[in-house]
């Protein structure tokens, strides 16, 4: 009896939020974009835009962290109907995994089939430079918890979803083509997702590099797991905002991360809007 009520509540909450959004925008989006730290400028390029504050959407968590404002922006980018999340929910803020990934469930309910995610990340790959754009080819989940832990809702996806192509190869290929056409230097790499909020010790950066990571950050992985569970195609991109490792003495700060992300922003805007145009 208890369980049935619980089940109804989670699915109902998702539907309620999706219905609210659908009733408050002119057109339903085909692509969702989650904007990472310092990458909020993309929204300036969204045409015919409309906004909904997270605080007005029933059941939506409210964003708290500095540098994130908490709105959904709707409109056209690269000729496609998009919904951009300005501000995401980080695990380190204290949200639980169901809250962190709630917006992705709402996207699923809205029948959005493609998700673009961006983030700021620290680079461990010795070829990387601050300001580089890294196309995420795969990830390593080092969060203490998987967002799919607990009861599985068959309506939302399978109990044991494959993660073999967590980041769509066709979208990676498109990103490569676009970056070549536009003369944007892009790297490829594996994103390591950690809980944060601490940056890594030198030994931790080294450890993440040894296990196959190229960059590390405090987001993205939970949303990408849920998007895959939901059958969505995902494209992920990181801006390398600092470098970490045994021999690196620079101390990363949130301000430095934001500054470096801002510098990469024009190229990110070109990459993402041109990809959308060519989808």
CB closer to ligand HPA out of 74 and 191: 191
How far is residue 258 from each of residues 139, 165, 184, 242, 273, measured CA to CA in Å? Answer: 22, 30, 20, 10, 21
Q: Compute the least distance from the CB of residue 169 to ligand HPA, in Å.
A: 25
Nearer to ligand HPA, 101 or 238 (CB): 238
Candidate segments 3-11, 114-122, 161-169, 223-231, binder of ligand HPA by CB under 6 A = 114-122
Compare residues 105 and 139 and give the one whose CB is closer to ligand HPA: 139
Report the residue number, 60 or 205, with the smaller CB distance to ligand HPA.
Answer: 205
* Phi, psi at 237, each rounded to 5°: -145, 140
Give yes or no for residue 241 binding ligand HPA (CB under 6 A): yes
Which of 223, 242 has the CB closer to ligand HPA? Answer: 242
Backbone angles phi, psi at 216, to 5 degrees: -130, 140
Angstrom distance (rounded) from CA 3 to CA 192:
34
- Cβ neighbours of residue 252 under 8 Å, at least 6 residues apart? 122, 199, 241, 242, 244
Residue 252: name the closest of 92, 133, 100, 124 by CA: 124
Helix (H, G, I), strand (E, B) or coil at 278: helix
Of the candidates 227, 233, 9, which has an alpha carbon nearest to the alpha carbon of residue 104?
Answer: 227
Does 252 bind ligand HPA (CB under 6 A)? Our answer is yes
- 115, 121, 178, 221: which one contacts ligand HPA (CB under 6 A)? 121
Quote the crossing angle between the two packed helices 102-109 and 2-24, to the nearest 10°: 70
CB of 91 to ligand HPA, least distance (A): 12
Do the Cβ atoms of 63 and 36 come closer than 8 Å?
A: no
Could you tell me the smallest distance in angstroms from the CB atom of residue 123 to ligand HPA?
8
Residue 120 sits in the site that holds ligand HPA (CB under 6 A): yes
Nearer to ligand HPA, 234 or 240 (CB): 240
Residue 200 interacts with ligand HPA (CB under 6 A)? yes
- Among the listed residues 128, 199, 208, 235, the single contact to ligand HPA using CB under 6 A: 199
Residues contributing to the site for ligand HPA (CB under 6 A): 120-122, 199-200, 216-218, 241-242, 244, 252, 257
């Amino acid at each position: 009896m208890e369980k049935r009520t619980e089940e109804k509540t989670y699915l109902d909450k998702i539907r309620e939020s999706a219905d609210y959004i659908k009733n408050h925008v002119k057109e339903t989006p085909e692509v969702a974009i989650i904007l990472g730290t310092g990458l909020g400028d993309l929204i300036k390029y969204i045409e015919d835009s409309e906004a909904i504050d997270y605080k007005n959407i029933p059941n939506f968590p409210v964003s708290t962290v500095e540098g994130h404002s908490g709105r959904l922006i709707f409109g056209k980018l690269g000729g496609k109907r998009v919904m951009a999340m300005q501000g995401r929910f980080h695990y380190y803020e204290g949200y639980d995994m169901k809250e962190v990934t709630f917006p992705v469930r709402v996207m699923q309910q809205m029948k959005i089939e493609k998700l673009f995610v961006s983030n700021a990340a620290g680079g461990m790959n010795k070829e990387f430079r601050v300001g580089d754009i890294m196309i995420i080819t795969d990830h390593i989940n080092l969060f203490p918890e998987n967002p799919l832990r607990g009861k599985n809702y068959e309506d939302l996806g399978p109990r044991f979803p494959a993660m073999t192509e967590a980041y769509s190869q066709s979208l990676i290929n498109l990103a490569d083509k676009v970056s070549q056409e536009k003369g944007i230097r892009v790297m490829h790499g594996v994103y390591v997702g950690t809980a944060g909020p601490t940056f890594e010790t030198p030994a931790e950066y080294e450890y993440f590099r040894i296990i196959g990571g190229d960059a590390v950050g405090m987001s993205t992985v939970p949303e990408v797991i849920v998007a895959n569970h939901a059958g969505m195609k995902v494209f992920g991109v990181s801006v390398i905002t600092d470098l970490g490792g045994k021999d690196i003495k620079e101390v990363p700060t949130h301000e430095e991360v934001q500054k470096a992300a801002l510098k990469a922003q024009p190229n990110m805007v070109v990459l993402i809007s041109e990809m959308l145009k060519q989808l």
